[in-house]
Homo-oligomer: A and B are copies of this chain.
């Protein structure tokens, strides 16, 4: 199938204005036409996701964990308990933690006449870099607000900010958007010419995402209505 693992080659692409500079790690070996470096596209894909998959190396082996993230300009933030190992690995004294942060949206199922050309329509962003712990109190506050607002825009201002105890328990790490690529597959199946007369249905099944009706907490006080930023969803 077409959405198969592909990795990067050593052939750099030409760069464009308003785009990230491709590197060895961000140019795919396959389906090069699907790779993109446009900042606006990258930002849009990142901003639409709720969870990223963050990879790092522990004892020589890869670890991939789903986690919340937020983007502020050209920087991503991830947070976690100060006791968790990946967060400790990004401490001030360290050179930082090599990470790969990936966000993927699955948009449709692509049914070709041949098994080989079955695929998924998707949009993904892969960020390579070094994650560093954020120690500046102002940036930490900004990052934590961004993490809440990434879940629901406008929510940070309508919740109790972290207190000193909570701040002390929370590690925030940052990852700059520098070595970044997007990959997008859209449209219909790419069948072989000799398969066009086969009797199989062919096309795309779109996948939809949406919001259900908000469910108030059991202990929500009467009289607290749904805020505008939720009805807007």
Q: Which A residues from 51 to 89 make CB contacts under 8 A with B? A: 51, 53-58, 60-68, 78-81, 83-87
Q: Do the beta carbons of A63 and B104 come within 8 Å of each other?
A: no
Q: How many residues of A contact B (CB 8 A)?
A: 109
Closest chain-B Cβ to A31's Cβ sits at a distance in Å of 9
Cα separation A148 to B212 with both chains bound (whole Å): 30
Q: Which A residues from 196 to 212 make CB contacts under 8 A with B? A: 196-212
Q: Do the beta carbons of A7 and B207 come within 8 Å of each other?
A: no
The 6 lowest CB-CB distance pairs between A and B, nearest first, are A206-B212, A5-B80, A53-B53, A55-B62, A55-B64, A4-B80
Which A positions have Cβ atoms within 8 angstroms of B? 1, 3-8, 25, 29-30, 50-51, 53-58, 60-68, 78-81, 83-87, 98-102, 104, 106, 108-109, 111-116, 118, 120, 122, 124, 126, 128, 144-145, 147-148, 151-152, 155-156, 158-163, 166, 170, 188-189, 191, 195-221, 224-227, 230, 233
Complex A-B: 20 CB contacts under 8 Å: A1-B79, A1-B151, A4-B68, A6-B81, A7-B85, A25-B61, A60-B98, A62-B98, A64-B102, A66-B122, A108-B212, A113-B159, A114-B160, A116-B170, A160-B200, A201-B225, A202-B220, A203-B215, A203-B220, A205-B230
